[in-house]
Amino acid sequence: MKQYNCCVVGIGAVGAEMVKLLRRRNFPVNKLVVFATRERTEVIDGVPVEVRVAGPGAFKGMDFAFFAGTEGAKGASKTLGWQAVEEGCVVIDNGDDFRMDARVPLVIPEINAEALRQHQGFIANPNCSTIIALMPLAPLHQAARLRRLVASTYQAVSGTGSAAIKELEVQMRDWAAGRPLKAEVYPHQIACNVIPSVGSFKDDSGESTEEIKMRKETHKILGDAAIRVATTTVRVPVINGHSIAINAEFEQPLTPEQARALLAKAPGVKLVDDPKNAIYPMPIRASENYDVLVGRIRKDQSCDNGLVLWCAGDNIWKGAAQNAIQIAEEMVRMGLK
């Protein structure tokens, strides 16, 4: 089997999981290099990893560059991404800087892998919540055509990064000990609370950037700008794993039984739907799971041809690092690299 020279740019929560998953998924790596803002040695999954600083020519001889920027982080792919392409490397970017760029395919391999054939050396990962929502929605859209989507997200603190995880852990200990809770990463305490604000508010629409991304990315990935999308994004006191409540309206009738049959055979989706026996998707079960879990499937009583469902997925794995590696795996399978 052909082997590939790979690099990971950024070694935070997502970058570390990229390194870990390249090993666990047995991606055919010949050489792996990690780039960050300073040189050091990191231990990832029990293995020491040398970290270098990327400079001119750093990407020459590399086949794949995985840019691991967390959601909303700016800099690395804007500064180095197209340089890497010019030096002969395929860039797979987890950040949001180029997702809506017409040159850049926005790809979930199980849904729109064919978009990879139009790549110009640069491919983008969608937003973590978009990935988790569309994994169960895409098979239903293919069967009955999605007309309207209302999504309410329950997003774990790992989506903000390691500092947010630490803040939640410290706040939980302080709450249990009766000490005052300090909020630094978020504008309010996150322990024992939910914050209906993910991303930032840059205009007067009332929508956050995270909510806007869900709409625009859904249109681009499914290739249908007529789908109406309304989203409320909420940060919850969960360490890892995003959950999403979805109301979906379709052009054609689709019963819950038909939806279950479609989702039971959908790649990358696991049907977890027996609420009478307390079996349904939860972030604690989705964390470190390759699949997106879906359940609580029922008729939407508020509209014709509507379904309600609940899904949960690992926002750092399928929502970020895993999806990026799957893009590379798919490119290899399709003979594009």
Q: How far apart are CA 164 and CA 156, in angstroms?
A: 9
Pick the CATH number of 130-315 from 3.90.110.10, 2.40.170.20, 3.40.50.620, 3.30.360.10: 3.30.360.10
**Is 188 a catalytic site residue?**
no
Pinpoint the residues of the chain covered by CATH 3.40.50.720.
4-125+320-333
The catalytic position among 128, 141, 219, 303 is 128
Q: How far apart are CA 127 and CA 158, in angstroms?
A: 14
Pinpoint the residues of the chain covered by CATH 3.30.360.10.
130-315
Please count the other Cβ atoms lying within 10 Å of the Cβ belonging to residue 88.
12
CB 9 within 8 A of CB 65: yes
Burial of 20 (0-12, 13-18, 19+ CB in 10 A): middle
The catalytic position among 6, 119, 242, 311 is 242
Please list the pLDDT of the chain residue by residue as tens digits (337 residues). Answer: 899 999 999 988 899 999 999 999 999 999 999 999 899 999 988 888 889 998 889 999 999 999 997 544 456 899 899 999 999 999 999 999 999 999 999 999 999 999 999 999 999 999 999 999 999 999 999 999 999 999 999 999 999 998 999 999 999 999 999 999 999 999 999 999 999 999 999 999 999 999 999 999 999 999 999 999 999 999 999 999 999 999 999 999 999 999 999 999 999 999 999 999 999 999 999 999 999 999 999 999 999 999 999 999 999 999 999 999 999 999 999 999 9
**Is 119 a catalytic site residue?**
no
CATH second-level architecture of 4-125+320-333? 3-Layer(aba) Sandwich (3.40)
Of the candidates 118, 161, 113, the one whose C-alpha atom is nearest the C-alpha of residue 11 is: 161
Pull the structure tokens for residue 134. 């569309």
Pull the structure tokens for residue 267. 């790649």
Q: Roughly what angle, to the nearest 10 degrees, separates helices 128-144 and 209-222?
A: 40
Q: How far apart are CA 96 and CA 76, in angstroms?
A: 11
Of the candidates 303, 258, 317, the one whose C-alpha atom is nearest the C-alpha of residue 17 is: 317
- pTM summary value: 0.96
